Chain A
Amino acid sequence: MDLKDKLVSSFMAFENTVDVDAAVHDVRSEALKSFEDKGFPSKRDEAWKYTSLNSVLKHDYSVFPKQENALEYSDVKKYFIHDIDSYKIVFIDGKYSSHLSQTTHDGIDVCLMSSALSKPKYQLIIENYFNKAATKDGLSSLNTAFSQEGAYVHIPKNKIVEKPIQIIHFSTGNESALMLQPRNLIVVDENSHVQIMERHQSLTDNPVLTNSVTEIFTNKRAIVDYYKLQNDKPTASLIDHTFIKQKRESHASVHTFSFGGQLTRNNLNFYQEGERIDSTLKGVTIIGEKQHVDHNTLVHHIEPNCESHQDYKGIFSDKSTGVFNGKVVVDKIAQKTNAFQANNNILLSDKASINTKPQLEIFADDVKCSHGCTIGQLDDSAMFYMRSRGIPEKEAKALLMFAFSNNVLDSVKIPEIKQRITKIIATKLGVDIGFDL
């Protein structure tokens, strides 16, 4: 039985575990139909031209992990940004771990999707926001159909959340192959500010497939900083969908750091539904072996006077493949739009490849839109300069690559995250560099 049939037939079993009378269940049933129609995307779909899911869909995934699993904090401490105080929402094999988590209802709601979906207190928010930003493509629909657990964050008006929120998904490998479908909802009301970090981490070599959907709503003048750290095992694959709807004068930024995993696909969609909005999409990808990272971004400029900034850097070695598919759409009324898109790549091996397609679709005339894309290697003269000053080749290379990705790291607002990423990059490059970027 292939994965699609398995998922469709397990929906009945899933229904036994949730409240089928809730309004949200109609959304689920409808989404299941949509998934049945559309199925998994194939290379024939333009958006999936360069990424084949065949290798990750072939496993016999268990779709509902039954067992509760516990982890000791000391064993997984290194996966947290542990040197700062933060709220934590932690899942182990898709199940909430209260032991590792630190949630709150004090003025703000940092809690679980499952409780938000079932408790009447949250009904209004769920009705207004749940599945209102997600697209209806096959994979998102699949997630919607099985949406039950994940993070729920609601920040009411005029709140600056002091501590960042960490959302971490662990998979323990108790199942021989596991499919996870977390569903996150983040609603930030007027004038509020929140910082969130998300991570998916497999702890064994058993295959894991995560099909995650995150919906983020930023209301008037809200500020959201979202960091995605992807440094998973070579047997773990991630298909991540993030949909962000912005209201006027809000700022949203998403930084994606992709260093690991077998196959990583990041769908990142921004919808600007008001004036003077600022959207930032940045990413650093450093991969090797046979890894594959695909960034698929969309920024839809719907209203006038908005800005968007995209900056994606990639370094590819061994047999890795990188894909960047960035799309900027400027509607007819979205005059004075300022959209900027850059994608720079370095290939370090002849077996590595990069496919990039920076795309502009513009219907308004008074706009400034530009995109730039480069593919090249490390500068020989810069290498020579450093080596003639006694810096060994490896370190010199690393320095250049740091410099290359610096633009993206610069805008990371939490110093601890920046430090962590610097360290990961140094490990990736196999060097010890005595400075922080």
Chain B
Amino acid sequence: MSNKYTEDDLREELKTKEYEYGFYTDIESETFPNGLNEDIVRAISKKKEEPEWMTEWRLEAFKIWKEMTEPEWANVHYQKPDFQGISYYSAPNSKPKYDSIDEVDPELLATFEKLGISLDEQKKLAGVAMDVVVDSVSVATTFKKTLGEKGIIFMSISEAIKEHPELVKKYLGTVVPQKDNFYAALNSAVFSDGSFCYIPKGVRCPMELSTYFRINQAGTGQFERTLVIADEGSYVSYLEGCTAPSRDENQLHAAVVELIALDDAEIKYSTVQNWYPGNAEGKGGVFNFVTKRGLCEKNAKISWTQVETGSAVTWKYPSCVLKGDNSVGEFYSIAVTNNYQQADTGTKMIHLGKNTKSTIISKGISAGKSQNSYRGLVQISSRADNARNFSQCDSLLMGNDCGAHTFPYIEVKNKSAQIEHEATTSKIGEDQIFYCNQRGIDTEKAIALIVNGFSKEVLNKLPMEFAVEAQKLLEISLEGSVG
């Protein structure tokens, strides 16, 4: 067969494939000068018309951050960002805020169209309430009224600070304290915006809540802060997805996400991350240093699902603190790395309460010259009777220049705990490809099929709207790199 699609062809094709979502929207932005000091922190706070306690909270975080050094334990290598060379605030200039979608800058709408997340389409078809964030300030919030009837609060965090200070004050920083880590402290000091969500007692949120983050202004670090509170007996499914325009300069993203699930509540948090991973030579790309953590009270459940395909460097460990008895934590992840991407991602399951359960399913796919690490911690405290954990991390290697690493930490202090951990590393079997070929499926399709099967356990956990996009992203990131 002369026109056989070989692995080399695939690899070649992938190499030349440019970032499909690489474009740049020219919206006049208001940007702060580069650098970070107390005045900048105050200015950000002032800009956002924040109350005094918030300014103080930020300054306290800034003081802590100054004393801290960047963590180096992760299995990633990169040029450290110059924290004084970044502008810490940028907001789209078109004001005031819009009530209807027609008022939105048409250029911005076109951007969304390219991303396949056309607002009106989403509104009509998907029933998804979107709190779209472009460079730090919410420019459109939909379905707010429908949610309002149920008593659900879904708004940008800056609005929430003004409108619901008691809630923000009570919960902000309780799961991820300012001093938690270097990037969390930085985020606490300078976060520009983000989403805030409160589900009242016993309410089941009727739709998937979702936000899209984009980094749009050259050289602007994006510091999102998300706070989701599910009050007793409530349920919410929250989606977060991102694409960013192609840039040469490294962009820093240090977000903090805090989830609080009170008694009997359930939060499902799904992420699709497809930021610019840098070009085929490993130049450029987003640095993604994210702190995500959820707190489970009695009988509560938090489920993290993530599809990580983008970013040059990823440093991300969505965690669950299972504080209440009978609480449940779940982590489903697909991390795909290609070219020179590096990902060090995983989860922490901290079992404090009795009869707590956690499940970890992590699928790592590495291609090109990328390095993909799973780093996880399962900790059973001495009071956590009958704790149960199941972890599975599978890695798929494509080509011979990439690496897959597993660093699972398991710490058990209770005799009734039952922990299972297993990990495998493999490549796509020639026999599998042969089997498909034999049945008239060409190699490229066969590979897509196998990768899909490999990731199915995680893809299945995504809400419908996301599953489609995630599958598309997997194809874009991997198609052609299979070896």
- Footprint of B on A, CB under 8 Å? 46, 332, 335, 345, 347-377
> Roughly how many angstroms separate A356 CA and B414 CA in the complex, as a whole number?
14
Select one of A335, A353, A365, A374 contacting B421, CB under 8 A: A374
Q: How far is the CB of B67 from chain A (nearest CB, A)?
A: 18
> Roughly how many angstroms separate A366 CA and B402 CA in the complex, as a whole number?
12
| Closest 3 pairs (CB-CB, A-B) | A365-B397, A347-B415, A375-B419
Question: Binary interface profile of B, 370-399, with partner A (CB < 8 Å = 1, else 0)?
Answer: 000000000000100000000000010111
Please, could you name 26 A-B residue pairs with CB atoms under 8 Å apart, sorted by A? A345-B412, A349-B415, A350-B413, A351-B382, A352-B413, A354-B412, A358-B408, A360-B404, A361-B403, A362-B404, A362-B405, A365-B400, A365-B427, A365-B483, A366-B427, A367-B427, A368-B424, A369-B424, A371-B422, A373-B408, A373-B410, A373-B419, A374-B418, A375-B418, A376-B419, A377-B415
Known: A357-B407, A364-B400. A373 touches B415 (CB 8 A): no
Known: A355-B409, A360-B406, A362-B404. A374 touches B420 (CB 8 A): yes
Q: How far is the CB of B180 from chain A (nearest CB, A)?
A: 20
Q: How far is the CB of B137 from chain A (nearest CB, A)?
A: 42
Judge whether B417 and A375 touch: CB under 8 Å: yes
Interface residues of B in 59-73 (CB under 8 A from A): 73
Q: How far is the CB of B418 from chain A (nearest CB, A)?
A: 5
**Which residue of the partner chain B has the closest CB to A365?**
B397
What chain B residues lie within 8 Å of A46 (beta carbons)?
A: 73
Q: Does B105 make an interface contact (CB < 8 A)?
A: no
Known: A362-B397, A365-B483, A366-B427. A357 touches B405 (CB 8 A): no
Select one of A347, A351, A353, A371 contacting B423, CB under 8 A: A371
Q: How far is the CB of A49 from chain B (nearest CB, A)?
A: 9
> Roughly how many angstroms separate A180 CA and B425 CA in the complex, as a whole number?
42
> Roughly how many angstroms separate A389 CA and B417 CA in the complex, as a whole number?
28
**Which residue of the partner chain B has the closest CB to A357?**
B409
Given contacts A365-B400, A375-B417, list 7 more A-B pairs with CB under 8 A.
Answer: A350-B382, A350-B414, A356-B409, A360-B406, A364-B397, A373-B420, A375-B412
**Which residue of the partner chain A has the closest CB to B367?**
A365
> Roughly how many angstroms separate A352 CA and B401 CA in the complex, as a whole number?
42
Q: How far is the CB of A287 from chain B (nearest CB, A)?
A: 14
> Roughly how many angstroms separate A140 CA and B48 CA in the complex, as a whole number?
58
Known: A367-B425, A373-B420, A375-B418. A357 touches B401 (CB 8 A): no
> Roughly how many angstroms separate A345 CA and B421 CA in the complex, as a whole number?
12
Select one of B410, B416, B424 contacting A377, CB under 8 A: B416
Judge whether B401 and A347 touch: CB under 8 Å: no
Judge whether A365 and B415 touch: CB under 8 Å: no
Select one of A352, A359, A367, A373 contacting B422, CB under 8 A: A373
> Roughly how many angstroms separate A335 CA and B426 CA in the complex, as a whole number?
11
Select one of B73, B382, B401, B411 contacting A332, CB under 8 A: B401
Q: How far is the CB of A309 from chain B (nearest CB, A)?
A: 15
Q: How far is the CB of A39 from chain B (nearest CB, A)?
A: 21
Interface residues of B in 321-358 (CB under 8 A from A): none
Q: How far is the CB of A329 from chain B (nearest CB, A)?
A: 9
What chain B residues lie within 8 Å of A377 (beta carbons)?
A: 415-416, 418
What chain A residues lie within 8 Å of B426 (beta carbons)?
A: 367-369
Q: How far is the CB of B71 from chain A (nearest CB, A)?
A: 13
> Roughly how many angstroms separate A377 CA and B419 CA in the complex, as a whole number?
10
What chain A residues lie within 8 Å of B415 (beta carbons)?
A: 347-350, 352, 377
**Which residue of the partner chain A has the closest CB to B396?**
A365
Select one of B399, B408, B414, B422 contacting A370, CB under 8 A: B422
Judge whether A362 and B425 touch: CB under 8 Å: yes
**Which residue of the partner chain B has the closest CB to A321?**
B413
Judge whether B399 and A347 touch: CB under 8 Å: no
> Roughly how many angstroms separate A359 CA and B417 CA in the complex, as a whole number?
21
Question: Binary interface profile of B, 448-481, with partner A (CB < 8 Å = 1, else 0)?
Answer: 0000000000000000000000000000000000
Interface residues of B in 410-448 (CB under 8 A from A): 410-427
Q: How far is the CB of B339 from chain A (nearest CB, A)?
A: 16
> Roughly how many angstroms separate A371 CA and B427 CA in the complex, as a whole number?
16
Q: How far is the CB of B343 from chain A (nearest CB, A)?
A: 14
What chain A residues lie within 8 Å of B422 (beta carbons)?
A: 370-373
Judge whether B424 and A370 touch: CB under 8 Å: yes
> Roughly how many angstroms separate A358 CA and B391 CA in the complex, as a whole number?
12
Judge whether B407 and A359 touch: CB under 8 Å: yes
Known: A355-B409, A375-B410. A360 touches B423 (CB 8 A): yes
> Roughly how many angstroms separate A364 CA and B415 CA in the complex, as a whole number?
38
